Amino acid sequence: MASAAYHETPLRGIERINPFTRHSNHIPQAMQFVITAVGPDNRGLADPIVHCVTELGANIAEIQMFNHDAECVFSMLTRVELDAQRAGDLRQAMIDVSQRTKLSIRTWSPEITGRRPRLAVCVTYRPEPATALLQAIATGAIRAEVPLMLGNREPCRGVAEQFGVPWFSIADPAAEGGNSTGRADGKPDDERLIALCDEHQVDFIILARYMRVLPAASCWKYAGGRIVNLHHGLLPSFPGIQPYHEAYASHMLTYGATCHFIVPDLDAGCQIIYQSTFTVPPGLARDEIIRRGQQENEPHCLVEGVRRVVDDEVRLHFNRVVATH
């Protein structure tokens, strides 16, 4: 059977501006850092972070804060530009702030030099996207490395073994009916997911048809364009869990997939990195459409989307995707 022809969809959400060099004339050897802070809500949590970065001479390019009132959780993202020679000072200052405030603070720079970006690949059932991604990395099409693969279900363990990637089950054994592998209902241990990513010094979390919604706290901990998701439908038209079925019911002849950044606010819009589509003739069976999408189009979409992020062609700024070049 002939392979589907892939088409790039014009990305309305990408703005061709470069906010990342806005202050380059003011700071020699300026380097961008993203600081995220999450923890129990209290007064005065933002002040120590802002005070420390300004004391170090940083320019603040972006601040986002959110209070999860029902959960009494405070979340904050601060994007700054700082002299690269003061990177160590910034990281130590944030460690000190974390100890004083009891906030979970992460300091990360998207300007990765001297090494390849490190990806954590999260999966559930479908093996095709993860397989295509790991194959692209193996051939050098994507210049990155994968130190771990995480799954809340077991079907993709063989993909990790095929490519020699360490596999970690993040299914929660405490879930109802769970056991040592937690496979009763697939409920993930979200804290373990983040802890493993921290332990392996991950730059980006890739949700390769990972069929669970990350809680807001997890999204905030890796906010700032560090979580990339593959959705098996065209956003914003088909955002549900069965986009093929919904598109088929609408008598669509064009189907597609979307690679986008995850942001903590689900209502913030579609942070689209890349979309690929394929067309079908009238009357084609729904099962065949789904097969083409899952086996051919979705893997292509994820590979290209991740490549754009890894090659630093796009970043997230104030919840908008911007082209960096």
User: Radius of gyration (Cα) for the chain, nearest Å?
Assistant: 20
**Residue 264 — pLDDT band, cuts 50, 70, 90?**
confident
Q: What is the pLDDT of residues 295-316, one digit of tens each?
A: 999 999 999 999 999 999 999 9
Task: Identify the pLDDT of residue 108.
Answer: 98
Q: How far apart are CA 12 and CA 302, in angstroms?
A: 19
Question: Burial of 306 by CB count in 10 Å (0-12 exposed, 13-18 middle, 19+ buried)?
Answer: buried
Task: Identify the pLDDT of residue 320.
Answer: 93
Grouping H, G, I as helix, E, B as strand and the rest as coil, residue 310 is: helix
pLDDT at 267 over 60: no
* Size of the chain, expressed as the number of residues it contains: 325
Of residues 302 and 183, which shows the higher confidence score?
302
| CB 301 within 8 Å of CB 132 | no
Task: Identify the pLDDT of residue 70.
Answer: 63
CATH topology for 22-108 is Alpha-Beta Plaits (3.30.70)
Give the residues across from 167 on adjacent strands: 149
Q: Which residues have C-beta within 8 Å of that of residue 145, sequence separation ≥ 6? A: 116, 117, 118, 119, 137
CATH topology for 7-16+114-323 is Rossmann fold (3.40.50)
For 249, the token pair is 């019911």
Q: How far apart are CA 118 and CA 142, in angstroms?
A: 11
Task: Name the pTM for this structure.
Answer: 0.89
Q: What is the pLDDT of residues 127-157, one digit of tens each?
A: 999 999 999 999 999 999 999 999 999 999 9
Task: Identify the pLDDT of residue 25.
Answer: 43
Q: How far apart are CA 172 and CA 188, in angstroms?
A: 5
Mean pLDDT of the chain: 89
Q: What is the pLDDT of residues 269-297, one digit of tens each?
A: 679 999 999 999 999 999 999 999 999 99
Q: How far apart are CA 321 and CA 10, in angstroms?
A: 13
162-166, 175-179, 242-246 — which is least confidently predicted?
Answer: 175-179
Q: How far apart are CA 29 and CA 197, in angstroms?
A: 29
- Domain boundaries defined on the chain: 7-16+114-323, 22-108
Task: Identify the pLDDT of residue 9.
Answer: 42
**Residue 201 — pLDDT band, cuts 50, 70, 90?**
very high
pLDDT at 69 over 80: no
